[in-house]
Amino acid sequence: MIQLFHVSKYFGANAALKDVSARIRKGEFVFVTGPSGAGKTTLLRLMFGAEPPTEGQILINGINLSRVNGSRLDLLRRKIGFVFQDFKLLNRRTVFQNVALASEVTGEKWTTTRKKTHQLLRAVGLATKEQAYPLELSGGEQQRVAIARAMINDPLILLADEPTGNLDPEITRDIMILFRSINLRGTTVIIATHNKELLRNTDQRIIFLHEGTIHE
Amino acid sequence: MGKLRLWVYYFKHAFASVLGNRLIYLISTGTISISLLLFGAFVLLSVNFSNWVQSWEKSLSMSVYLKDGLDEPKKDKIKEAIQKLPGSEIKGFISKEKALRDLSGTLGSQAGLLEGLTKNPLPASYEVVFRNENLGREDLRKIKDALENVEGVDEVQYSEQWMEQIEGMVYMTRIFGFIVGGLLCVAVLFIVTNTIKLAIYSRRDEIEIYKLVGATDWFVKTPLLIEGAMQGILGAVVALVILFAAYSLFTFRTIQLFGLPVMDVVFLNHGHLALILFLGLVLGLLGSFVAIGRFFRF
């Protein structure tokens, strides 16, 4: 599903990732962890095609990210859901509109978009908050809106950057249950986190990053 | 999504975005209005000045002075020679006595100066005007020479210096028009582009989110271009309404300047109105296009 070959990323003279190689199989649930500045966010951004690697190759479902750009990259992104730490929701749009947006941009029929949006909001427990605005919701609820939006196009891969960073333990547990259920439906889930509580007692694969290099 | 549905979506979102960002769009549309108001006022002044100059050119008059002591048949021959000239119209015959009376009237309180004259020195004349003829200075000189060769004609005078000044003014107006009009266009483009850029910049988070969820560039750009076009046209309409209100309020419909021919102050014609609307549309589109082009280089 995801293959990284000798990937490095430099910001000026600083290396965020150094010669990283990894393989993540279809349907895997993977944690990427490490201290702040280890390169977790950079790794996820490279997998999403938000930035090109300085060196190396990244293959997503057999497609080399270095060889796609413009609208082909936009189309590929529709197969990758991304949940951001700061949610990245449109505050002037309702919960329903925020989730529907990701489907609308693909040119999906409105009836299908509407149906899928209702279903997903019900699945993440926000059926009663469809017409609310993001700023009227709690942090956990906003995170669930972001997850619903990331899931609406039935992505092959779900990337989540510190999805529980600002949430209390109870809500963190709910969010993690949600990710597990998404993974059980066949979606490859990759979560970047430095929350040690999440990693304790987990039987999932953990990729440990330190100063831009992998220690599995 | 079918093409038509996609365009419906673009327009729907463009309208929703304008309504949702009312203050920003009010400021940018206001800026476009003020810029186009200045441009429209300049066009209005140019059109009226040009009309004024043309009306002067068209009402050019010529005085054909006669030698003293001509009999009626000779005067008729001169009259015939004048009437044969294209576009000519004899406005009147001023006899020696009337010429003296007119001079006396013009001198007013100093008319006493003329009392010492033993003989009337002023010649009789035909006053001729040329209407609707595009007569250049060279044509007028030829007419003058031809008339001066007619028996009984003493001298022909026309406002040659005034003609030169008018032609100079027309030339200067054109040069000035091109320079000022060109500079105004550049200034308007610069202001509009930057205003729209600021409006788009204020929505950079929204654009970023669209891109992150997989929207193509054109999916994001098209509603922004539509918004730019809408602002441009609305700005132009507001500018024209203000210009017309100002024209109606502050302009006398006719003015009379120094006793010269009455001149109508006209508003912009349909062509000029269409030009300003089109300019608004182009500026809005171009402004958005430039702003988007810069903005999408992230």
Taking only the tens place, the pLDDT of each residue in A138-156 is: 988 998 899 899 989 888 9
**B210/A101 Cβ within 8 A:** yes
What confidence score (pLDDT) does residue B2 get?
66
| Residue A109, pLDDT above cutoff 80 | yes
In percent, the amount of chain A with pLDDT more than 90 equals: 48
What confidence score (pLDDT) does residue A133 get?
96
What confidence score (pLDDT) does residue B258 get?
46
- In the stretch 51-70 of chain A, residues with CB closer than 8 A to chain B read 70
What confidence score (pLDDT) does residue B261 get?
46
- Give the integer Cα–Cα distance in Å for B114 and B93: 22
- Give the integer Cα–Cα distance in Å for B39 and B235: 12
- Picking from A55-69, A114-128, B127-141, which range would have the lowest pLDDT averaged per residue? B127-141
The residues with which A157 forms a beta bridge, in sequence order, are A80, A188
- Give the integer Cα–Cα distance in Å for B187 and A146: 44
Residues of chain B neighbouring A90 (CB-CB closer than 8 A): 205-206, 209
Note the residue count of chain A.
Answer: 216
Query: Do the beta carbons of residue A198 and residue A22 sit within 8 Å?
Result: no
**A107/B6 Cβ within 8 A:** yes
Low-confidence ranges of chain B (pLDDT < 70): 1-2, 56-59, 131-134, 136, 160-163, 250-264, 294-298
Cβ-nearest to A149 among B213, B215, B216: B213
> CA nearest B20 in A: which residue?
A92
ipTM of the complex: 0.82
What confidence score (pLDDT) does residue A164 get?
83
Range list of H helices, A6-151: 40-48, 70-77, 95-104, 110-123, 139-151
Interface membership of A45 toward B (CB under 8 Å): no
What confidence score (pLDDT) does residue B176 get?
82
- Give the integer Cα–Cα distance in Å for B18 and B116: 83
Token pair 């999408």 is at which residue?
Answer: B296
> CA nearest A88 in B: which residue?
B209
- Phi and psi (nearest 5°) for B149? -85, -10
What's the whole-number average pLDDT of chain A? Answer: 89
Q: Identify the helix (H) or strand (E) that includes residue B167.
A: helix B160-201
- Of B47, B24, B46, B40, nearest in space to B239 by CA: B40
Residues of chain B neighbouring A77 (CB-CB closer than 8 A): 212-214
Residues of chain A neighbouring B216 (CB-CB closer than 8 A): 71, 74-75, 105
- Give the integer Cα–Cα distance in Å for A135 and A145: 12
| Residue A29, pLDDT above cutoff 90 | yes
pLDDT tens profile A169-201:
888 888 888 889 889 989 999 999 988 888 887
Sheet holding B88-94, edge to edge: B88-94, B125-130, B60-66, B153-158
A35-57 mean pLDDT: 90
DSSP state letter for A127: G
